[in-house]
């Protein structure tokens, strides 16, 4: 194992925020300057406003429900085709005189 390759650890590193809040933490640098901290971030202060009234999961479930409503199973398709073919067969003329009357 190589010696002296790890950076020096500062267990009492001072963190200063742009809002003026300061706190200590462990770091490899003695002083840290940040723009936003938990004291001034809108999410942590409760000032965050959520514009999206309907989440991703709700929109996904709506799409899936619409597709499910339009879904026709293979069994239902076969029954519909069978019914259509039967109706076409019944609509065909049975005699030559009926064919002449159609034309």
The pLDDT tens digits along the chain (103 residues) read 688 888 999 999 999 999 999 999 999 999 999 999 888 888 777 777 666 667 788 888 888 888 887 788 889 889 999 999 999 998 888 888 887 887 6
2 and 29 part of one domain? yes
> Is residue 68 situated within a structural domain?
yes
- Write down the pLDDT at residue 93: 84
Count: domains in the chain: 2
62 and 88 part of one domain? yes
Domain of 10: which CATH number? 4.10.80.400
2 and 26 part of one domain? yes
pTM over 0.85? The answer is no
Which residues are registered as beta bridge partners of 27? 10
Q: Following CA atoms 18, 24, 30, 31 in sequence, which dihedral angle do they give, to the nearest 10 degrees?
A: 10
> Is residue 14 situated within a structural domain?
yes
1 and 42 part of one domain? yes
CA atoms within 13 A on the CB side of 81: 7
Task: Quote the distance between the C-alpha of residue 20 and its chain's center.
Answer: 38
CA distance 35 to 16: 9
- Write down the pLDDT at residue 70: 77
CA distance 44 to 21: 14
> Is residue 97 situated within a structural domain?
no
CA separation, residue 11 to residues 26, 30, 38 (Å): 4, 9, 20
3 and 35 part of one domain? yes
5 and 41 part of one domain? yes
Q: Which domain holds residue 73?
A: 53-92
7 and 41 part of one domain? yes
């Amino acid at each position: 194992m190589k010696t002296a390759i790890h950076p020096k650890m500062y267990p009492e590193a001072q963190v200063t925020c742009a809002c003026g809040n300061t706190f200590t933490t462990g770091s490899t640098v003695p002083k840290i300057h940040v723009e936003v901290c938990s004291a001034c971030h809108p999410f942590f202060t409760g000032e965050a406003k959520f514009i999206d009234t309907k989440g991703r999961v709700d929109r996904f479930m709506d799409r899936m429900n619409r597709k499910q409503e339009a879904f026709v199973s293979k069994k239902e398709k076969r029954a519909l085709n069978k019914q259509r073919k039967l109706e076409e067969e019944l609509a065909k003329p049975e005699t030559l005189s009926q064919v002449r009357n159609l034309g």
